[in-house]
Structure 1
Amino acid sequence: MPGKSAKGPRQPHLGAPLDALDPYLPDNGNLGYRISRYDLDLEYKVSPNRLAGVATLTATSFIHLQRFTLDLASTMSVSRVTVNDKRARHSHRSRKLSITPESPIPPGGAMTIVIRYTGSPRPIRGPWGEVGWEELTDGALCANQPNGAASWFPCDDHPSAKAPYRIAITTDSPYYALANGILESKRTRAAQTTWVYQQIEPMPTYLASVQIGMYKKKSLATKPFPVDAVLPARLMRTFDIDFGRQMEMIDVFVEMFGPYPFPTYTVVVTDDELDIPIEAQSFSTFGANHCDGSRSAERLVAHELAHQWFGNSVTLSRWRDIWLHEGFACYAEWLWSQRSGGKSASEWARTYYDKLATHPVRTTLTDPGPRHMFDDWVYKRGALTLHALRLAIGDGNFFALLRRWTDKYRYGSVTTEDFIALAANFSTMSLGPLWDEWLFTAALPPFPGPS
């Protein structure tokens, strides 16, 4: 496993349990148990947009459970549920699947939950638009952040609820199917092909993803880990321009952030245009408009790659701390720009500071509120916070801190307080005033550096 010093078989690492709901998404997540593995067997027919699934969830009860719930969109119809091989009663309304086992589950009791379901998956509407399973012109993609996973599989949809996955997708043979992790097997029977992927590093539900399209695979590198592209044949030439510095970018980020945390990395380019790229664990998805031969989307290429460290491996415990993902990925854009001969990080900091100064914000970076957690000011102020920290502690300490952050919390769940505590070890002075100004005060502090 890249980034792991231990020898021998690769083993899953489970995130720390947090039996609490997230106030930003209080209707998502479930109490009383923790899922330790998802096995999803999916069959998808592209033309009618029809999904049939069998979800096998391995879980452990925290308390005496007479009944428990899972998140699942109302567009999915559940035909059968078993718990520990015994038929269980269930009801399904308001995006909650309620399950009553034949016998209560004692505290610490193991559960194997099997759910058979079918439906025509649709994105889930929310304050952030539509998220989840989405039809393309000829295929489908999943963009779950923050609460779209339930549009296509039953789950405990909470960002700290990380688990390994096995995802098997059966679809018509002309289509290429991609999911998180390593392709374990591919089997064609008659006119259909089954693709089986194993994602053993724990993953939150919002990063689980399936991509289906008329794609071809292009190998970009085999060492130190496989890097591939999956895209329509018509975009192969422009891909070499727009993503031509992908491998150099990976080398730079490994130097700055530490070892790449997953066994593979794949770039998907859809045949459709997309408003924004989408991160998933072990791959990123771009639209055809990001692959037009102009290299104008290279900052987004850097942003999505950086999420493999900041967001996908090291994942927030609660949505209010989204700056730990987006601020870091945004600052990675600025770092790449400087390293690749573009504007320096300081120049980008000045540019976006001036923009933020013209639009005062009335909430803090560490609690922007659910409606504003994906606003651009969170991204840019988060990056400015890191720039201010870098100037305060110096480059050597700053990059040592980032590498320690990605190592200490690899595959884990974190909060802003975790980052503050770790950063204290890399500074000879108190960072309290810096955090007060940049994280906990709504007003924009003075520019960090020469005016």
Structure 2
Amino acid sequence: MPGKLGKTAWHTPTLSAASHELDPYLPASGNLGYRVSRYDLDLIYKVNSNRLSGTVTVTASSYQHLDRFSLDLASGMRVERVTVNGRRARYTHRSGKLTITPGTAIPTGGALMVEVRYGGSPRPIRTTWGTVGWEELEDGSLCANQPNGAHSWFPCDDHPEAKAPFRIEITTDSPYYALANGRLISKRRRAAQTTWVYEQVEPMATYLAAIQIGQYERRTMSDGPVPVHALVPPQLNSEFDVSFGRQPQMVSAFTEMFGPYPFPEYTSLITEDELEIPLESQGFSTFGANHCDGTRDHERLVAHELAHQWFGNSVTAARWRDIWLHEGFACYAEWLWSQHSGGKSADEWARHYYAKLAASPVRTPLADPGAPEMFEDWVYKRGAMTLHALRLRIGDGDFFALIRRWTEKYAYRCVTTEDFIALASTFTKAPLGDIWQDWLFTPALPPFPSMR
């Protein structure tokens, strides 16, 4: 285990590259020609009718001459008005694309302020990986956007590299708690409705943006250096104390291992509904009632979602092919927490899952698993095994120093596998090429790693 960290300067939010390419795994998501610098969402949601309406303002700059440009927005949402830099603009809306023609072309390097007034009944989008996006609950709603469901409920550049700060204002029925990304900066009740305003200062990928609405009680689990909160249905309070009670210790342990927690606070939310899997969002995670059963049987998932705040939410893969940089790291965090909390060691878990990987050979490399495979369990486990192999090669001191440098150097930015390989090479004189070739670029499972 790594030693304690000294004081570290707070990171300054850094936007990603000025432009980006479309992702071959999701070629229909994302847009070219401009770079978003901010989203402002001003929304109203009626729970009983599942009706969402409002205005979204997208602030951006062009990196090429634009006679027209597009945003992603699900066809089920109805656009009422579009303005560009304060002037009405023509638009078409079909096949999930809102294509906008401004009255005056935007020059290269020009400023864009696009205001979209729209409304409708948001529905999840069907994808290769199931449905993603806005979902109704029995009494409320949630957003499960990964990888490209954000445009089910707001117009955006739905691409993981297109990170930007957000302001989210959501007005909903007063009995309900509305949670969104960032700090809650104001809350005002008027008649039967309450308006919640959140500021997400650190740049965020659209798939991590979320509004979760339900009848929850807010609890503070820790008001230490990293405040830890929870939103829990009242009837699950006692079960929550057991299933999620060790989250403050988990935050402390991961801060020591991975570096400073990258956001102002952390919240776990438990829905009254059962969920197949938990969901990570920037600054909080969402779990189903089935994950809050009064046991610690699901604590590995609690660790996994928390670890995503570093790996995926702050440090974000620029390409979906590099999903192991999210899921492999979060899976390895499960094993690290197990060892830290007195359970099986990381090496024991590595041997356990190595046997499972050996029993189910795959035909694609971890560094490019293919779109249909990118959320398969083998990607998670082989990603964690890759990190374990690296740790055994370079030793605990250099390994954890590398991880802390990774989260510091690329905080709030986007990365690739090549970035990690390059950074790792600076933490050891030992050759690492065989590790990357065997674990990342060759489909066949190599022998279980050993120390050198």
9, 12, 17: which one aligns with 1:5: 9
Instruction: Determine helix, strand or coil for the equivalent of 1:15.
Output: coil
Q: Aligned pair in 2 of structure 1 residues 253, 372: CA closer, same or farther (>3 Å)? A: same
What is the CA-CA distance between 1:418 and the residue it aligns to? Answer: 0.2
Match of 2:311 in 1: 310
What is the CA-CA distance between 1:163 and the residue it aligns to? Answer: 0.0
Q: Aligned pair in 2 of structure 1 residues 160, 436: CA closer, same or farther (>3 Å)? A: same
- Contact 2:393–2:450 under 8 Å retained in 1: no
Alpha-carbon distance in structure 1 between the residues aligned to 2:264 and 2:429: 37
Amino acid in the other structure paired with 1:315: T
- Contact 2:20–2:161 under 8 Å retained in 1: no
Check if 1:68 corresponds to 2:69: yes
Match of 1:160 in 2: 161
- Contact 1:175–1:212 under 8 Å retained in 2: yes
Amino acid in the other structure paired with 2:307: A
Alpha-carbon distance in structure 1 between the residues aligned to 2:426 and 2:8: 23
Amino acid in the other structure paired with 1:115: V
Q: Aligned pair in 2 of structure 1 residues 168, 224: CA closer, same or farther (>3 Å)? A: same
Alpha-carbon distance in structure 1 between the residues aligned to 2:54 and 2:154: 8
Aligned residue-pair number: 445
Q: Residue deviations 1:210-240, cap 9 Å, x none?
A: 0000011001111203210011111111111
Amino acid in the other structure paired with 1:136: L
Match of 2:4 in 1: none
What is the CA-CA distance between 1:53 and the residue it aligns to? Answer: 2.0
What is the CA-CA distance between 1:65 and the residue it aligns to? Answer: 0.4
Match of 1:241 in 2: 242
- Contact 1:18–1:160 under 8 Å retained in 2: no
Alpha-carbon distance in structure 1 between the residues aligned to 2:16 and 2:42: 23
- Contact 1:217–1:229 under 8 Å retained in 2: yes
Instruction: Determine helix, strand or coil for the equivalent of 2:449.
Output: coil
Alpha-carbon distance in structure 2 between the residues aligned to 1:175 and 1:26: 37
Unaligned runs of 5+ in 2: 1-6
Alpha-carbon distance in structure 2 between the residues aligned to 1:118 and 1:197: 21
Check if 1:218 corresponds to 2:257: no
Match of 1:82 in 2: 83
Q: Residue deviations 1:157-176, cap 9 Å, x none?
A: 11000000000000000000
Alpha-carbon distance in structure 2 between the residues aligned to 1:302 and 1:162: 24
Instruction: Determine helix, strand or coil for the equivalent of 1:301.
Output: helix
Amino acid in the other structure paired with 2:40: D
- Contact 1:239–1:293 under 8 Å retained in 2: yes
Amino acid in the other structure paired with 2:391: R
Match of 1:427 in 2: 428
Instruction: Determine helix, strand or coil for the equivalent of 2:431.
Output: coil
Match of 2:346 in 1: 345
Check if 1:437 corresponds to 2:438: yes
What is the CA-CA distance between 1:311 and the residue it aligns to? Answer: 0.3
Report matched runs for 1:390-405 at 5 Å: 390-405=391-406
Alpha-carbon distance in structure 1 between the residues aligned to 2:9 and 2:442: 41
Amino acid in the other structure paired with 2:9: S
Alpha-carbon distance in structure 1 between the residues aligned to 2:318 and 2:66: 24
Instruction: Determine helix, strand or coil for the equivalent of 2:441.
Output: coil
The sequence identity of aligned pairs, in percent, is 69
What is the CA-CA distance between 1:49 and the residue it aligns to? Answer: 0.4
Instruction: Determine helix, strand or coil for the equivalent of 1:25.
Output: coil
Match of 1:202 in 2: 203
- Contact 1:144–1:207 under 8 Å retained in 2: yes
Instruction: Determine helix, strand or coil for the equivalent of 1:439.
Output: helix
Q: Residue deviations 1:183-208, cap 9 Å, x none?
A: 01000001000000000000000000
Alpha-carbon distance in structure 1 between the residues aligned to 2:270 and 2:330: 20
Amino acid in the other structure paired with 1:270: T
Superposition TM-score, scaled by structure 1 size: 0.97
Alpha-carbon distance in structure 2 between the residues aligned to 1:416 and 1:238: 40
Alpha-carbon distance in structure 1 between the residues aligned to 2:401 and 2:12: 27
Report matched runs for 1:259-270 at 5 Å: 259-270=260-271
What is the CA-CA distance between 1:403 and the residue it aligns to? Answer: 0.2
- Contact 1:17–1:161 under 8 Å retained in 2: no
- Contact 2:13–2:412 under 8 Å retained in 1: no
Alpha-carbon distance in structure 2 between the residues aligned to 1:382 and 1:14: 27
Aligned-CA RMSD value: 1.1
